[in-house]
Structure 1
């Protein structure tokens, strides 16, 4: 999975009954912010079904039981996108991400229909990055050739581990051989792809974690996403915690990952993201740089900027509820305007995840606030050794990266 849930953590929106067309007018009334220019816009498309719900997963995913309504869902996605057009009229879309769930359960014809609808309704940038999540248990060579022909130009493959024991512990439907075959198929059809792996898994040793990372690097993927397993609330693992490596063992794994990736030519540019030169994930960077994104599909989140305000939306999460409400043009379950008081924290919650930080002027560009509104907090963070800044850049120090939550929390009380 991609790190969208980290953005969603700040999306505890108040319920509203306003619908997109009404909201378009309401959100454009003059407010207190003044954005000189709107940020880049991305499109996120959520596919809510998977073969099996993994015990660690807290994403909006639902097990396929006897199939899923592909045609109805694709029609709903088009209707959802059409209804949102007034909110983004005239804006170019630079990246598209199809996530889930397991979007690679879509038929080749279904994916082609989806991307055709997107191109028909939106002005896509000529060099748009179009990413699709895929799980090894759903890989079929012919289908993935068709996905590539339809316009997907980047895959994100949920490997998690190459070790059969750990895959079983994680509830994955594939084994190590299927994981390797999936990477081979990706190599044959895509020149840009990401491998997702997790570490600090149940009963995992440092040597086993090393073998996973070395195996992944041997395939020379352009991008790696390496996540520490976390026991998220409301998951099976949260209710029935497995035995996982302690903090010291996890720290040793993090050190090992840093050394192996650096030696192989991967630069860590975000907490969990490592890339070869010129291969950073453009869609994810847009999140971390507080760009805009329109989310369509069950449970999808949006963050949209207007000249005088910034708003968030969330669609109905349950696929059945989403499909029922889309018919009424009422698919938005929650929406709210981000308050001035919350903007600095929301910006820093994302931007401080970037190892090299952000350009000083980006804060004002993306929030509409002057940098001096957070001067005291910046000074405090510097005094604690958590933050570095000069006239060009603001970034977490090494200590700030190690205690990122503490650094981000300083801006919550700003």
Structure 2
């Protein structure tokens, strides 16, 4: 029986100081004054349209991403959160996260962010090595990165640090040094992941001197051991937490939950009462967006694609995937995918229990191969 999943809200702020060479998120550099008030007004109108699709469900958490949301003044964030609360039912203990650029952290602004309702901050540090920061085209240095962390710690205990490995000319010692610097400041959450170069980025056309696969594997193995020894629990492919500090917004994605996406280029996923699941993509043109043209595409997920979409998210988690959960979120019978499950079992990617499936160590390493089994 279909059970409507919990729902989150993602808000996209598209502006950046500078577009990083590896970034494939929708963003652009603003050379003029950002039309903050106009954009916030239209974000809330965009939200109003999508709220009609979710019936009476409460919003469980909010994530303000980008781009660089911390470019916005505190008054804009205040009006945004106030407007959302006026229009929606927020869960009592909603996690509200904002992504932040270390170059833009000012104590006064961020203290006001917290007063507006922000209770979790996410810092995109990437590396503490100033030379490597230049190579990946970040706009700050090690000293500024550390200052940003210290400022955030004064304001809020709950914060995430993003760190990458596999950077151009990065050594194993560089990686371990980054992780030591990270845990030194005791973040509640660490997102630690490998740099990947996507086709639609400026780095894709460059001849970057990236570490080879053997070095990458050593970085991954030794880094994981260090994080575990430092008291961080791995609960997803690239996410590590202190006890009870999972990122609730991302956890909703990985559990195939629903989410409204508002703002330029934002993506959404919404389950309807009849079991249909639709994906929305918002207009990427800022000028059209602030004229009220919000929706770009709305597409139905086909029945044959639902298992792949579901497992693409849930197999990322380091926990069992329950059969009942699969049926609730997809409205598909287990018997309809049993042949695919059997193939995954034969290849030793999965273990099947009475009520659940679990990815094996081999399945985690070859996750893409595992997912292809469910791809129609």
Q: What is the TM-score of this pair, normalised by structure 1?
A: 0.89
For residues 50-199 of structure 1, the aligned pairs below 5 Å read 50-199=16-165
CA contact under 8 A between 1:78 and 1:117: conserved in structure 2?
A: yes
Paired residue for 2:216?
250
Any unmatched runs of 5+ in structure 1? 1-33
Specify the SS of the correspondent of 2:60.
strand
Q: Following TM superposition, by how much is the alpha carbon of 1:156 offset from its aligned partner in structure 2, in angstroms?
A: 0.7
Paired residue for 2:295?
332
Paired residue for 2:282?
315
Q: Following TM superposition, by how much is the alpha carbon of 1:43 offset from its aligned partner in structure 2, in angstroms?
A: 0.3
Specify the SS of the correspondent of 2:112.
helix
CA contact under 8 A between 2:54 and 2:272: conserved in structure 1?
A: no
Q: Following TM superposition, by how much is the alpha carbon of 1:359 offset from its aligned partner in structure 2, in angstroms?
A: 2.0
Q: Following TM superposition, by how much is the alpha carbon of 1:121 offset from its aligned partner in structure 2, in angstroms?
A: 0.3
Specify the SS of the correspondent of 1:80.
helix
Counterparts of 1:409 and 1:217, CA distance in 2? 36
For residues 290-309 of structure 1, the aligned pairs below 5 Å read 290-308=256-274, 309=276
Candidates 324, 335, 341, aligned match of 2:304? 341
Deviations 1:323-347 (A, max 9, x none): 23x1xxx411111111100000000
Deviations 1:212-259 (A, max 9, x none): 011101111110001100111111100113111011110000001110
Counterparts of 1:185 and 1:157, CA distance in 2? 11
CA contact under 8 A between 1:231 and 1:241: conserved in structure 2?
A: no
- Asked which structure has the greater RCO (Cα within 8 Å, sep 6+), the reply is 1
Counterparts of 2:358 and 2:330, CA distance in 1? 17
Deviations 1:283-338 (A, max 9, x none): 101000100000000001110001221111100112223223x1xxx411111111
Q: Following TM superposition, by how much is the alpha carbon of 1:84 offset from its aligned partner in structure 2, in angstroms?
A: 1.7
Asked whether 1:353 is paired with 2:316, we answer: yes
Q: Following TM superposition, by how much is the alpha carbon of 1:99 offset from its aligned partner in structure 2, in angstroms?
A: 0.3
Asked whether 1:411 is paired with 2:374, we answer: yes
Any unmatched runs of 5+ in structure 2? none
Asked whether 1:286 is paired with 2:252, we answer: yes
Q: Following TM superposition, by how much is the alpha carbon of 1:357 offset from its aligned partner in structure 2, in angstroms?
A: 3.5
Specify the SS of the correspondent of 1:411.
coil
Q: Following TM superposition, by how much is the alpha carbon of 1:44 offset from its aligned partner in structure 2, in angstroms?
A: 0.4
Paired residue for 2:333?
370
Specify the SS of the correspondent of 1:87.
coil
Q: Following TM superposition, by how much is the alpha carbon of 1:370 offset from its aligned partner in structure 2, in angstroms?
A: 1.1
Counterparts of 1:334 and 1:357, CA distance in 2? 34
Counterparts of 2:223 and 2:288, CA distance in 1? 42
Counterparts of 2:60 and 2:308, CA distance in 1? 25
Paired residue for 1:205?
171
Specify the SS of the correspondent of 2:57.
coil
Counterparts of 2:154 and 2:18, CA distance in 1? 27
Specify the SS of the correspondent of 1:274.
strand
CA contact under 8 A between 1:49 and 1:61: conserved in structure 2?
A: yes
Paired residue for 1:14?
none
Number of equivalent positions: 375
Q: Following TM superposition, by how much is the alpha carbon of 1:276 offset from its aligned partner in structure 2, in angstroms?
A: 1.0
Counterparts of 1:173 and 1:196, CA distance in 2? 15
Q: Following TM superposition, by how much is the alpha carbon of 1:388 offset from its aligned partner in structure 2, in angstroms?
A: 1.5
CA RMSD between the two structures: 1.0
Q: What is the TM-score of this pair, normalised by structure 2?
A: 0.98
